[in-house]
Every structure is written in structure tokens, then in C-alpha cells.
Amino acid sequence: MIARQLLAGAAGLGLCFGCLMMPEAQAAQSIRVLLASDVRQLEVYTDQTLWVTDERDQAWAYRSALRIKAQGQVLLLNGKPVASDQLMVRAGSHDVKLWLNGNGNKTVLHTGDEKGAVQVSGSIQLLRRGKGLLVVNYVDLEEYVKGVVPAEVNPAWHPEMLKVQAVAARTYALYQHMLSAARDYDVVAGTQDQVYRGRQGIDGRVVQAVESTRGMVVTHQGAPIYAAFSSTAAGITEDAMIVWSKDLPYLKGVECPFDIESPHYQWKASFTVDILEKNLRQQGFAVGTITAIAPLTYSRAGRVATLRVVHSLGELVLRGEDLRKAVGYTVVPSTQFTIESIGRDVILSGYGAGHAVGLCQWGAKELAELGYSFSSILRYYYPGTELRDASLTQAPPAPSVPPS
């Protein structure tokens, strides 16, 4: 069945060939990416002139370097006070490099640079929120996708897999953009949405994957889909209804026996009951001293949907994903686990990594290596969809329940 689905003809793949003939006509689309919040001080560098404008279109020019500091009711630009709650920093068509520093920063992107530097294209918007600043990168959609692909997968992977990731990342960004008019940004540069590191890691393979799929997005009924993806399904992918209470016809479980080579295929984890109690209370759960934990219900794919937590104040029914959130998504990589023992430490053994909804990255890697095209892989993991040019899509319906 899987092979027949993957080897379907063009019609079965849901390709709208007429829709893919117009990438050159697509207008440049800008995506707003939140790089950091609550920033008190940052430095901006470029080898060109920096232009800064405020919300009243007042403008200032700086030679190559600018230090910005939030102080009281003003912003200090190289020590000079400016009364503004919103600034836009540009270097024409040239990149800028940012250093985020100072107490209180909540940086959401991980640059790999020990100084916290990130190089980005586009422009930088600074928005005062409370005592700090939001740092938002306005960047062309295709340049954004180039920054996501090497941050989400290994750029040495098969070219068809890189195309899969490029189209999924582009689709996810456009979906969020179309639904985020009331927000200060479209996507976050971390795992809350999809990882973005600016120019870091971009090479010829990444550029080729993005440019060869330029403008292509996965659609359902003419609108970009919520293109969820995660590392390793280790079995059947999961329904969005189970994980996020979102009934999306293209996010239904499919068999995924392709990711056995993933380093996250099988794992063991442990955490203390004390940490679980503390974090559950911080998240608003009324929990006493925990004495027992046991799976209560399972999803169709065999993952822990809910757990029964017995504690000194009573009982709590906890979602599997809430357990992951409470002890850390990296501590408990997935909800496909069994409980080996419970003392003051809880020891789990499990399979897979991530929420397992939609695209499985390691599964897609294997399928690409077996010779399947990026379009057939996308069609398999997002059933009932088709590829279209982004310029020919309509806005998706607003979700009734946001992803957790």
C-alpha cells in the first residue's frame, strides 16, 4: 500500500502543474521572524551604512556599527537618546550582524556563535515591550527558508530531502504569515515554530534545494497547510487531533517504517518526581506529592495519550504531551514510551523524537535515498494535498485551537 501510494502518477501526487509554472511572477514575500525578546541591549554591524527610521519616519545614518540600549523611556543609539517605541534598522540590500547582550535577554535562536552573533539579510525591527525590546527580522520568504533548512536537517542529506524540508518550511511560514496580522511577528526562530539561524549553514546544496522549489507550498483546498514536521516517528505518524486537538484532514497518521537509522529511534530517559511536581505546579496543576504514574489511554498509533497521576491531593489525568512539557521536550523525546520504574526517579524507555505529526524528517531522508521525489514524499506524509505556487493560494481557516 505504501509503495503504491508513493509511486502514484502525477494526478495521484496532487500536483497542480499549471500552478507551478509561475514562480517568476510571484511578488517577494516578507516574513517577520522573532529573534529575541526582552532585549535590553544589542549591537548591529555591517560593512555598509546603517539606516535607522522610527515610527514617524525620522531617519539617522550610522557608519557600519550601532549600539542600541533600552534605558528608561528612551532608546540610546550610540549613546544618543531617541524617544521611540519602534525602530527599523537597514543596510540597504546588505546583510547585518547582530550581537544580543545585556541582562534579561530571551534569545530564541541558537546561533552556534559563543558571542551570540547572528548574520541575517533583510531588516531588523525593534519594538519596545515593557522594559525590553522585541528583535524581529523582516526577511524575504525564500531567504528565510534558506536559513531554516540547514538548521532543521543536515545539509549533506539527499537533495530530494532538502527539497522536502524547503517546501515544508516555506509552507509553514506562509501559513503563519496569513494568520498573524494581529501579532508582532509571524514565526519564532526556535523550536516553537521552526529553527532559523540566519545565514549560518547555508551552502550550495541548500541554495539549490530552495531555488529549485521556489514558491512551491503544500496546499489543501487552495490554502497553505499547517505543515507540521518532527524528527523521528518510529512507527505510525500521529493525528493532529490527538496531539493538538486540531482536526486537520491532511494531518492524519500514516505508516512510517523508514526511520530506523535515526539516532533518536530508541531512547531511555529519567527525571525526578520532585521536578515533575514543581513544574506541574508552575503550569497551574494542583498537584500534591506524587505516588504513582501510569499510562491511562493510548493513541491509535500506540503513543501515550493520557496518564493517571496519583498524588496526595487526589488524582490528575495528564496528557502525554503535558508530561513532556513539564519535564522537558529534550528529556522525554516523545510520547511513545513505557514506564520502567518509579521511585524518586521515573525511568522511561521509548521510541522516536518529536510530536510525530505530519512529516517525519528521518523517514523522508530514507525515502529520498530510495529514489522517491520530494513531491511524492510530501504527498505521502500530508495526504490529500497538492503543490501550488504560493502566489495562487488563499488564506487558511483560522485554527480553533492553537498548537501547544
| Tens-place pLDDT, residues 50-88 | 999 999 999 999 998 999 999 988 999 999 999 999 999
Give me the residue label for grid cell 517568476.
Answer: 24
80-129 pLDDT per residue, tens: 999 999 999 999 999 999 998 654 555 555 544 545 689 999 999 999 99
User: Where do the domains of the chain lie?
Assistant: 2-28+143-259+356-392, 31-141, 266-351
What confidence score (pLDDT) does residue 399 get? 72
What confidence score (pLDDT) does residue 323 get? 96
What confidence score (pLDDT) does residue 103 get? 47
pLDDT beyond 80 at 166? yes
What confidence score (pLDDT) does residue 64 get? 83
Average pLDDT over residues 176-205: 95
Query: Cα(248)–Cα(228) distance, rounded to whole angstroms?
Result: 11
What confidence score (pLDDT) does residue 113 get? 53
What confidence score (pLDDT) does residue 20 get? 39
358-372 pLDDT per residue, tens: 999 999 999 999 999
Rounded to the nearest angstrom, the gap between the alpha carbon of residue 380 and the centroid of all alpha carbons in its chain is 21
Query: Cα(80)–Cα(68) distance, rounded to whole angstroms?
Result: 9
Q: What is the DSSP string of 77-130?
A: ETTEEE--SEEEEEBTBS-EEEEEESTT-EE----S-TT-EEEESSEEEEEEET
Taking the model in full, what pTM does it have?
0.88
What confidence score (pLDDT) does residue 3 get? 47
What confidence score (pLDDT) does residue 277 get? 96
CB 77 within 8 A of CB 25: no
273 Cβ neighbours under 8 A, 6+ residues apart: 290, 342, 343, 344, 345, 346
Band (pLDDT 50/70/90 cuts) for residue 9 is very low
What confidence score (pLDDT) does residue 21 get? 36
What confidence score (pLDDT) does residue 11 get? 36
Average pLDDT over residues 173-179: 96
Question: Alpha-carbon dihedral of residues 176, 182, 184, 186, nearest 10 degrees?
Answer: 10
CB 141 within 8 A of CB 187: no
What confidence score (pLDDT) does residue 150 get? 98
pLDDT beyond 60 at 403? no
Coil, helix or strand at residue 148: helix
Which amino acid is it at 115? Answer: K
Average pLDDT over residues 176-200: 95
Average pLDDT over residues 132-159: 97
Coil, helix or strand at residue 160: helix
pLDDT beyond 90 at 299? yes
Average pLDDT over residues 261-288: 96
What confidence score (pLDDT) does residue 115 get? 59
Nearest C-alpha neighbor of 340 from the set 271, 254, 288, 403: 271
Average pLDDT over residues 13-35: 56
Per the prediction, the chain carries an average pLDDT of 89
Average pLDDT over residues 118-146: 96
